[in-house]
Structure 1
Amino acid sequence: MVSKDQPAEDRTDLAEDRTILAVERTFSGWIRTGLATVAVAIGMQAVFGPFQPT
């Protein structure tokens, strides 16, 4: 027998799953941005060399 609370519990479980997935996407975005920043910095260093003021 299905209780009246079952649909609400299912929705809550699904909402928790969506929240976890959203957090993972956000974390992945931050990691991707950080790695891209490091790659650009390494590329700039390779192209322009060490910066020495005149």
Structure 2
Amino acid sequence: MGEALLNHAKIHCAKKNYKGLALETATDNPAQKLYERLEWKKDNDCFHYFWKNTIAQ
């Protein structure tokens, strides 16, 4: 199911002439093997930072 969804997203991207897709995952997510098998490339050149509002409910 995950493979079909990712392939559908790539087809949609190509039809719309978009430059590409971004995918974010946990460092311990075993699905990384699926992403790499489907030719998604890991970006080792940057980090993602998040700020969490600990006051908000």
TM-score (norm 2): 0.30
Larger Rg: 1
Higher helix proportion, which one?
Answer: 1
The answer to which structure, 1 or 2, has the higher relative contact order (CA under 8 A, 6+ apart) is 2
